[in-house]
Amino acid sequence: MDLLTPLLRDSALTAIFSDTQTVQGMLDFEAALAHAEANCGVIPSEAVTAIVHACRVENLDLTALAQSAANAGNLAIPLVKQLTAVVKDQDQQAARYVHWGATSQDVIDSGLVLQLRQALDASDELLSRLLAVLAQQTERHIATVMPGRTWMQHALPVTFGLKLAGTLDALLRWQQRLREMRGRVLVLQFGGAAGTLASLNEHGPAVAQQLSRELDLSLADTPWHSQRDRLLEVGHWYAGVCGTLGKFANDFSLLMQTEVAEVSEPVVAGRGGSSAMPHKRNPVGCAAILTAVQRTPGLMATLYASQIQQHERALGGWQAEWEVLPELLMLAGGVLEQSIQLVSGMQINEQRMRVNLDITHGLIMAESVTLALAAFVGKQEAHHIVEALCHQALDEQRPLLQLLENDTRIKAHFSSAQLTQLLDPSGATGSADYFVRQVLARYQEQNHDASLSA
């Protein structure tokens, strides 16, 4: 479905998981293996040049590779066969040492880890860009008052800055997790046929150490052919980021509804229109994000199910990861890119937010009045009095201020000016400012170098 890639997978991560890059990752493993084994005296050093020179994706027939994989059961077997033939054309003796001592899963898994390293680098950059624009918007709207909503209903006033800070705070945690997991997941896979490196005899550990240095990957204490927790952790990170940004996109699209109209997506020519209704301005960025996010739970379910792998090498569980994990990462890359565009250019209608604060004619501030009155009559009695006046305001379609001013129990303690002040939403955002500034300080601390360069 390449036609949908610009909508759902338009980020640097998609190119990383192209067929070309997948094959090149496996070839990079083969080239590094030859270097490592020659360094350890396992294969002749004269064989290395021909092998390394052949390990370029343009030397292979990808169409034939794909067709052969259908019978072989994986890409590595026909890849090694083609690679050996290419080497043999240049150096018949060197061809004997292609893929020496390794197994198909070593090639495929390590090639994938090399792709994952690129993907994590690209994701770190995307996330840093998103954090930067989100922090700017959070600071810009630190005092922008709007209705808070619980159970999809007006609750109490909040600030748009606080709403943004919640997402910023969550993404800062995902940034920390990204940095923490790199050492755990960027690990060489090298165990040979059954995870013992038996074909390398006593040279196994030395070759593994040298190979990890060649590829700049960590070396596991044991081969992890059928222990897939590392890949599960990678998938979890991307699915988690998608969940955070899906929540943001969902809230944003609700605020875009015609009846609410507190925010809008960026204005771009040809964006958000309808084929039938000229007046429409649809939240297409939010739709793209939510479309991708809807798919991540199913992909993660497959990764979880794939943890159950048989004995030393798996049948089905390992193979199920091949498309699922890259697809998850490509979708997440699209979510990050769409979110950057959305946050960077979003339009905020502060006037509409103020109008919406007033649509209940003061009811959104009923708690403020209740708490003030409680100082004189107690919390329970104050709640009873104000709740009854709120019901009356709804029944009679009258402003709450008018009923408060005419109620003798209220007038005994508050003037009209005091009641007006109690019903002002701008003075009832509590510790919102404090919370926002805490998150912004965390952002500056965590991204100090990036903020200086920006």
Catalytic residues: 274, 313
Rounded CA-CA distance 32/115 in Å is 15
d(CA 112, CA 326): 9
Neighbouring CB atoms inside 10 A of 380's CB total 9
Question: Which letter does DSSP use for residue 360 in this model?
Answer: T
Element holding 348 (H helix, E strand): strand 347-348
DSSP H/E element including 342: helix 317-345
CA-based radius of gyration for the chain: 30
Q: Pick from 427, 432, 423: which is nearest to 365 by CA?
A: 423
Q: Is the dihedral of CA 108, 114, 118, 120 positive or negative?
A: positive
Other C-beta atoms closer than 10 Å to the C-beta of 408 total: 6
Q: How far is CA 325 from CA 16, 221, 278, 296, 328, in A?
A: 13, 24, 40, 10, 5
Q: What is the 3-state secondary structure (H, E, C) of 416-452?
A: HHHHHHHCCHHHCCCCHHHHHHHHHHHHHHHCHHHHH
Cα–Cα distance for residue pair 451/444, rounded to 1 Å: 7
Q: Is 454 helix (H, G, I), strand (E, B) or coil?
A: coil
Distance (Å, whole) CA 92 – CA 300? 45
Token pair 């048989």 in the structure block, residue: 310
Q: Contact at 8 Å (CB) between 147 and 356? A: yes
